[in-house]
């Protein structure tokens, strides 16, 4: 590789690192790759880029690998990684931020169903300011391919029965309640679109 190309890659990497640090307010230089975040993650085995590697890849400016990864969709946002980091690096926050960037980017999502769920979840949240499970699952099931897949793999009927049972017990409600937070969430979303 020529020196000019190497310099360009390094500059791109630095720009991505500065962008993520600036947008999250997290000092990623504090990470010394001890791997405690990965060891505390309950779903690390399902990730193609482990939590400590996510931080390293951001430091190296690996934007496309991160936004196209399975990891950002598999992460449960449980924050175990952040809680276990000896240097207070917000690993979970970085992953959530990368997921938000991926949702606004043209990268095809590795985990299509999780991506659809995320989009529907955010859609319902900004619409009502809170989640109504019936509306969320209905909207999810109406997405192309989802209902057919569930009917085929036999998961639709048990899910429907469970939903009806929860309605009967008063745990689920048909009509969503609107929260004042909806307006603020919409405002924040518009602000993010402008970035
Ligand atoms: S626990 Fe913290 S310092 Fe250790 S690898 Fe993870 S982010 Fe880096
Ligand atoms: S927030 Fe994500 S990366 Fe961190 S421990 Fe939970 S699942 Fe793993």
Residue range 20-51, pLDDT digits in tens: 999 999 999 999 999 999 999 999 999 999 99
CB of 130 within 8 A of CB of 179? yes
SS3 52: helix
Alpha carbon of 177 to ligand 2 centroid (Å)? 30
Cβ of 27 closer than 6 Å to ligand 1, yes or no, is: no
Cβ of 55 closer than 6 Å to ligand 2, yes or no, is: no
For residues 178, 180, 128, 120, the Cα torsion angle rounded to the nearest 10 degrees is -150
Q: 184 pLDDT exceeds 90?
A: no
Alpha carbon of 85 to ligand 2 centroid (Å)? 12
Ligand having the closest approach to the CA of 96: 2
Ligand 1, atom nearest to 33 Cα? 5
Ligand having the closest approach to the CA of 47: 2
Whole-structure pTM value = 0.74
Ligand 2, atom nearest to 91 Cα? 4
Q: Which residue has the higher pLDDT, 103 or 79?
A: 79
Alpha carbon of 87 to ligand 1 centroid (Å)? 7
Neighbouring CB atoms inside 10 A of 135's CB total 18
Longest dimension (CA), the chain: 68
Which of the four pLDDT bands, split at 50, 70 and 90, describes residue 66?
very high
Across the range 169-179, mean pLDDT stands at: 85
Which of the four pLDDT bands, split at 50, 70 and 90, describes residue 58?
very high
Residue-range domains of the chain with CATH: 3-103 (1.10.1060.10), 112-193 (no CATH)
CA distance 36 to 59: 18
Cβ of 95 closer than 6 Å to ligand 2, yes or no, is: yes
């Amino acid at each position: 590789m020529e020196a000019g190309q190497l310099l360009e890659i390094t500059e791109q990497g630095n720009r991505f690192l500065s962008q993520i640090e600036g947008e999250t307010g997290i000092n990623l230089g504090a990470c010394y790759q001890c791997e405690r975040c990965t060891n505390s993650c309950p779903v690390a085995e399902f990730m193609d880029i482990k939590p400590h590697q996510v931080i390293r890849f951001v430091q190296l400016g690996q934007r496309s690998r991160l936004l196209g990864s399975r990891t950002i969709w598999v992460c449960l946002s449980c924050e175990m990684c952040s809680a276990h980091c000896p240097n207070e690096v917000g690993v979970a926050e970085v992953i959530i931020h990368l997921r938000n960037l991926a949702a606004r980017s043209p990268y095809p999502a590795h985990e299509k169903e999780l991506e659809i769920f995320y989009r529907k979840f955010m859609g319902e949240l900004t619409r009502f300011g809170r989640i109504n499970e019936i509306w969320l699952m209905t909207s999810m099931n109406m997405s192309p391919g989802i209902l057919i897949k569930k009917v085929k793999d036999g998961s639709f009927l048990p899910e429907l029965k469970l939903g009806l049972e929860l309605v009967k017990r008063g745990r689920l409600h048909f009509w969503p309640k609107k929260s004042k937070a909806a307006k603020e969430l919409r405002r924040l979303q518009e602000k993010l679109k402008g970035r």
